[in-house]
């Protein structure tokens, strides 16, 4: 590779990586962990490790909304803590080429409305990769961001622009995942 080309590639890579670093760091082994509504015990993030599942239980979480597929992860910690798991997977194909099913999003939002819930996406392999450790892009950004954004607009009646700003703060990847972007654009009012 030509030295100038390599330098340009390196500079762009660093810019991309720094742009993906979430302000919501991994806490209690939960990537991008944050409260959506502490009073109602609604939390969000990437898939937790064992310590994270125990922490969620201590916070009063009884229900888990799982937005990733069973092939991506197992949620054994939720099962061990006797949490109810609501599986509403949004596939890679839906994220990139199509759009999530409206029923999937509405079911996830309804579970959040009831409270005592943790909504997550991400996967074991993504959370444990060297790239994720370097850039803190472990999950809890895109599928979770869409569902939380819908909750903000449909349940809390926030302005769409404010909910979108929160999605962006978690580094929602609208350009890389047009299926999620299209759902947000076409179905959230």
**Is it true that domain 24-187 has CATH number 3.90.190.10?**
yes
CA 40 to chain centroid: 19
Containing 145, the helix (H) or strand (E) segment is helix 143-154
- Could you read off the pLDDT of 31-80 as tens digits, one per residue? 889 999 999 999 999 999 999 999 999 999 999 999 999 888 889 999 99
Q: Which residues fall within 8 angstroms of residue 104, CB to CB, at 6 or more apart?
A: 88, 89, 90
> Whole-model pTM?
0.82
The sign of the dihedral angle between the CA atoms of 156, 143, 90, 27 is negative
Residues of the chain with pLDDT below 70 are 1-23, 123-138
Q: Beta 42-46 vs 34-37: how paired, if at all? A: antiparallel
């Amino acid at each position: 590779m030509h030295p100038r080309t390599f330098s340009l590639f390196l500079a762009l890579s660093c810019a991309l990586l720094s742009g993906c670093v979430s302000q919501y760091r991994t806490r209690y082994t939960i990537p991008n962990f944050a409260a959506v509504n502490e009073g109602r015990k609604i939390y969000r993030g990437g898939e937790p490790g064992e310590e994270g599942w125990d922490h969620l239980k201590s916070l009063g979480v009884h229900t888990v909304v799982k937005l990733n597929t069973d092939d991506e992860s197992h949620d054994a910690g939720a099962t061990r803590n006797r949490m109810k798991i609501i599986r509403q997977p949004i596939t890679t194909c839906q994220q990139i080429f199509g759009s999530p099913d409206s029923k999937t999003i509405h079911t996830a939002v309804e579970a959040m409305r009831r409270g005592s819930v943790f909504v997550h996406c991400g996967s074991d392999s993504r959370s444990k990769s060297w790239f994720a450790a370097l850039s803190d892009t472990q999950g809890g950004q895109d599928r979770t961001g869409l569902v939380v954004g819908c909750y903000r607009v449909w349940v809390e009646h926030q302005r769409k622009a404010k909910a979108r700003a929160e999605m962006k703060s978690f580094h929602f990847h609208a350009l890389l995942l047009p299926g999620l972007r299209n759902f947000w654009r076409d179905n959230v009012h």
